[in-house]
Amino acid sequence: MDNIGIVVEDFELTIAFFRELGLQLEGEWSGRVTGLGDQRVEIAMMRTPDGHGRLELSRFLAPPVADHRNAPVNALGYLRVMFAVDDIDETLGRLYKRGAQLVGEVVRYKDSYRLCYIRGTEGLLIGIAQELNSAVAIES
């Protein structure tokens, strides 16, 4: 996989939100690969800290966009992206300052992960997961 694409309305706010997750802006560019005909679009490509993944943020100026930001967690189609983090509590603290809201609760999956869903900027559904190891004994 090369990247995941997300269409957004507030470009700068969304870039700042994903920077808080550790992604770095690679550049802004626009192109015509969507099949929408006469389109105008701004695109920012963001790279994960480990350099193995990218997130493409697009802001369509024309034509008008469809809005699915209030879709429930079980909606059909591509809905969320999950990020691995070193410290879920610290990450949530930073993201709350950017307007993130917890969807359910932070849960522990066996002795493997602590994870949760949040609604980030623009209502985007984001998953974050902290892998647990023997040195980390956090109970939820």
- Rank 27-36, 63-72, 76-85 by mean pLDDT and report only the highest: 76-85
How far is Cα 47 from Cα 125, in angstroms, rounded to an integer? 19
Mean pLDDT for the chain? 82
Q: What residues does each domain of the chain span?
A: 4-62, 80-131
The CATH code that applies to domain 80-131 is: 3.10.180.10
* Dist CA 80 CA 84 (whole Å): 13
> What band does 65 get if pLDDT is binned at 50, 70 and 90?
confident
pLDDT, residue 80, reads 79
Contact predicate 45/29, CB 8 Å:
yes
pLDDT value of position 96: 96
Percent of the chain with pLDDT over 70: 81
The reply to whether domains 4-62 and 80-131 share a CATH topology is yes
The rounded percent of the chain whose pLDDT value lies above 90 is: 35
CB 24 within 8 A of CB 46: yes
Q: Residues 42, 56: contact at Cβ < 8 Å?
A: no
Tokens describing residue 119: 């609604």
Task: Write the pLDDT tens digit of every residue in 81-99.
Answer: 889 999 999 999 999 999 9
The mean per-residue pLDDT over the stretch 48-73 comes to 80
pLDDT tens digits for 2-33? 678 888 888 889 999 999 999 998 865 544 45
Architecture of domain 4-62: Roll (3.10)
pTM of the shown model: 0.72
Question: Given the structure tokens 């109970």, which residue do they identify?
Answer: 139
